Structure 1
Amino acid sequence: MAIAITKENFKSVVLESSEPVLVDFWAAWCRPCQMLGPIVESLSEEVKGLAVVGKVNVDEQAELANQFRIMSIPTVLVFKGGKVVNSIIGVRSKDELRKALGV
């Protein structure tokens, strides 16, 4: 299951992770986000132990959304070593997300 990421746990879950981290920025009212959600959840199960998968609700975590200049949702950011290495906007297949994650 994808981890709910908040400004309180962002540093420990994302920035300090030794594994690559995929972060899905989403909102409950966003139809494309609802389409991407099950794909992200399925990916989180498949990459367990290889990568971390998390979700940021932009309505509840506006500070994080602003920090990463999220203008469209869904937006997926991939972090490695605490830095953004990939950015994807819109609904994508699980294979595309896995490839972006590098696992």
Structure 2
Amino acid sequence: MDPILVEIAKEYANRLTVTRLDIDHSPKTPPKYNVTAIPTLHVFKGGKIVATRIGPATKSNVAQLIAPHL
């Protein structure tokens, strides 16, 4: 997923922020956001989750997930 997210971050550089969380180093965070599987992608807007994808994704899948929220 990292290469896909790097591409998305570059392509949408001035429109969104892409971040990654290592759950091994932040074990309290996944339950806070109801993460039960890896990978999980959440799209946040205004501090709230507006879209989620669970499982592997392609660049196209990620772009489709974020497009309505830009």
TM-score, normalised by the number of residues in structure 1: 0.62
Kindly indicate whether residue 7 of structure 2 is the aligned counterpart of residue 42 of structure 1.
yes
Give 4+ residue runs of structure 1 displaced > 4 Å after superposition: none
How many pairs were matched up? 68
The aligned counterpart of 1:78 is 43
For residues 26 and 66 of structure 2, the distance between their equivalents in structure 1, rounded to whole angstroms, comes to 23
- Percent of counterpart pairs with the same letter? 26
Please show how residues 47-58 of structure 1 align to structure 2 within 5 Å: 47-58=12-23
Q: Which has the higher contact order (CA 8 A, sep 6+)?
A: 1
The aligned counterpart of 1:60 is 25
Letter aligned with residue 63 of structure 1: K
Letter aligned with residue 4 of structure 2: I
Q: Give the number of the structure whose residues are more often strand, by fraction.
A: 1
Give the alignment's Cα RMSD to 1 decimal. Answer: 1.0
Kindly indicate whether residue 46 of structure 2 is the aligned counterpart of residue 91 of structure 1.
no
Letter aligned with residue 32 of structure 2: Q
For structure 2, the residue ranges without an aligned partner over 5 or more in a row are: none
For structure 1, the residue ranges without an aligned partner over 5 or more in a row are: 1-35
CA offsets per residue over residues 4-24 of structure 1, 9 Å max, x none? xxxxxxxxxxxxxxxxxxxxx
